[in-house]
Amino acid sequence: MTADGTQAERDRLQRVLGRLALEEKQALDRLFSLLSIPSVSTDPAYHQACIEAAEWCAATLREIGFEARVAPTSGKPMVVGHWRSGQSGAPHVLFYGHYDVQPPDPRDAWNAGPFAPHLAEDARHGTVIVARGASDDKGQVMTFLEAARAWLGEHGALPVDVSVLIEGEEESGSPSLAPFLAAHGEELRADLALVCDTGQWDENTPAITAFLRGLAFAEITVTGPSRDLHSGLYGGPATNPIRVLAAILATLHDADGRVTIPGFYDDVREPSCEQLEQWRALGFDADGFLGEIGLITPAGETGFSVLEQLWSRPTAEVNGIYGGYTGPGTKTVIPSQASAKLTFRLVPGQLPAKILDGLHRFVEERLPQDARATFSGEGGSPAIGFDTQAPAFRAAARALEAEWGKKPVIAGCGASIPIVESFRSTLGMDSLLVGFALDDDRIHAPNEKYNLESFIKGARSWARILAELGAIERHART
């Protein structure tokens, strides 16, 4: 997009970074202003505050130089903004964040009011911003808006065309998101989504989340006798569906923790050697990770590190099981049915429907003559693995390395992130997941904080990413 050589580009960026440095105090005031609005989406008592936060975001976008509006939904409104260079064919990104926050409960556990943002000193992290939403996600949203403000304030232009979507229901299941994307797809579709709702590897190391596991889910119900039986009068001869179900579930993994469904691993795409090398070099504290939840031994596939098990290996989990009598005391029943809820975490390459087909066959083959199985509540979505060699991805990695002095970790995420799936499935759009949160930000908990450094360097990171995205054409040529 920009064709004026490297030094000119660097100068332009330096002026933006300089402006961000000069405006730190005002930027913090603006963030505090947003943090003081109690925009809890899940509690109807805060509905008006959500409207207020949406209007605050739209007003801020207009102040920066965007066209922006508060777009109604059947729930909380969306904030939609656009800045266009007017050049046809210009690269175009869609920034996504959310203005709603988790409820502040338990309030008594806060050292100060959850919606009275303030700075505090943290033994480990230095100065931190404390308030509900400081990290999730208002602080993160503001890193981008401050970067955009500095670019537009300094140069009257952004390096790429930018649209913004800030939703108000992320903390309450995003019920309005899919219909809104469906209705406004043409307006919102961009070359790439920038999603700022994730974290860093650690306080010194940025991260780009590039692998998100998918999901397949099913409920198995095993039926034995045609009705519940008295275990005294039938115990022995009568097939017990709980025993049948337990026996099937017990064979779902082998002694090495591998899923035994035939073909389960057939389509698994392995991470590159380079990628695995990076993960191994991270020195992930597996003992600490497990110790925090009272565990010692990784239960996943042997031969894979905990990080690989989480980021790059599929799983089969039993999320729920029920059958027979589950109240207090004893009831001597042989139930007619027993059920289990299963989910499979999938990795790139695996197809939910194929995994569920495999499950059906696996179960059917293990049923004794006097039991049958039915499957219900099935569905799923495939894993997402972004091409880490794509120009935009490499551009972001360069920008983060320039800001933080080290290469970003190309991270996985064991869980799916709904917005990323929606952008892909509804708009056919990849996402660049960059965020500056830290594991100890206490999101969803009392005394949520965001490091002041996360806020400052986050804004600088976005200023750099926008510059690099704008310079992609030149890099692509080199």
**In the range 269-298, which residues lie near a second copy by CB under 8 A?**
286, 289-290, 293-298
Residue 381 CB, shortest distance to a second copy, in Å, is 12
Pairing verdict, β 161-167 and 92-98:
parallel
- Per CB under 8 A, which of residues 253..272 are in contact with a second copy? 253
Residue 228 CB, shortest distance to a second copy, in Å, is 10
Q: Does 323 bind a second copy (CB under 8 A)?
A: yes
Q: Binding residue for a second copy (CB under 8 A) from 65, 414, 418, 446?
A: 414
Q: Binding residue for a second copy (CB under 8 A) from 120, 238, 268, 445?
A: 238
H or E segment to which residue 457 belongs = helix 452-470
- Per CB under 8 A, which of residues 202..231 are in contact with a second copy? 213, 215, 217, 219, 224-227, 229-231
Q: Binding residue for a second copy (CB under 8 A) from 51, 157, 247, 276?
A: 247
The window from 232-240, 351-359, 424-432, 457-465 that contacts a second copy (CB under 8 A) reads 232-240
Instruction: Tokens for 321, please give them.
Output: 């099981």
The window from 120-128, 265-273, 368-376, 440-448 that contacts a second copy (CB under 8 A) reads 368-376
Q: Does 343 bind a second copy (CB under 8 A)?
A: yes
The window from 28-36, 61-69, 94-102, 365-373 that contacts a second copy (CB under 8 A) reads 365-373
Residue 251 CB, shortest distance to a second copy, in Å, is 8
Q: Does 237 bind a second copy (CB under 8 A)?
A: yes
Instruction: Tokens for 254, please give them.
Output: 């082998």
The window from 65-73, 181-189, 315-323, 427-435 that contacts a second copy (CB under 8 A) reads 315-323
How far out from the chain centre does Cα 172 lie? 14
**Pair 140, 51: CB distance under 8 Å:** no
Residue 302 CB, shortest distance to a second copy, in Å, is 12
Instruction: Tokens for 235, please give them.
Output: 């115990």
The window from 74-82, 181-189, 233-241, 426-434 that contacts a second copy (CB under 8 A) reads 233-241
From residue 373 to residue 402, what is the string marking binding to a second copy with x (rule CB under 8 A)? ----x-x-----------------------
Q: For residue 268, how many other CB atoms are within 10 A of its CB?
A: 15
Pairing verdict, β 333-334 and 229-230:
antiparallel
Q: How many residues bind a second copy (CB under 8 A)?
A: 79
Q: Does 183 bind a second copy (CB under 8 A)?
A: no
Residue 260: closest CA among 372, 379, 359, 360: 359
Please say which residue, 369 or 389, places its beta carbon nearer to a second copy: 369
**In whole angstroms, what is the distance from residue 467 CA to residue 454 CA?**
19
**Pair 67, 81: CB distance under 8 Å:** yes
The dihedral built from the CA positions of residue 9, 12, 18 and 23, taken in this order, carries a sign that is negative
**In whole angstroms, what is the distance from residue 421 CA to residue 181 CA?**
12
**Pair 117, 31: CB distance under 8 Å:** yes
Residue 380 CB, shortest distance to a second copy, in Å, is 10
H or E segment to which residue 358 belongs = helix 352-366
Q: Does 352 bind a second copy (CB under 8 A)?
A: no
Longest dimension (CA), the chain: 89
**Pair 98, 141: CB distance under 8 Å:** yes
Residue 79: closest CA among 156, 137, 147: 137
Q: Binding residue for a second copy (CB under 8 A) from 125, 313, 398, 460?
A: 313
H or E segment to which residue 221 belongs = strand 214-223
**Pair 345, 414: CB distance under 8 Å:** yes
For the sheet containing 449-451, what is the strand order? 118-122, 126-130, 449-451
Residue 304 CB, shortest distance to a second copy, in Å, is 8
Residue 132 CB, shortest distance to a second copy, in Å, is 21
Please say which residue, 72 or 235, places its beta carbon nearer to a second copy: 235
The window from 64-72, 127-135, 141-149, 408-416 that contacts a second copy (CB under 8 A) reads 408-416
The window from 112-120, 122-130, 260-268, 309-317 that contacts a second copy (CB under 8 A) reads 309-317
Q: Using DSSP, state whether 465 is helix, strand or coil.
A: helix
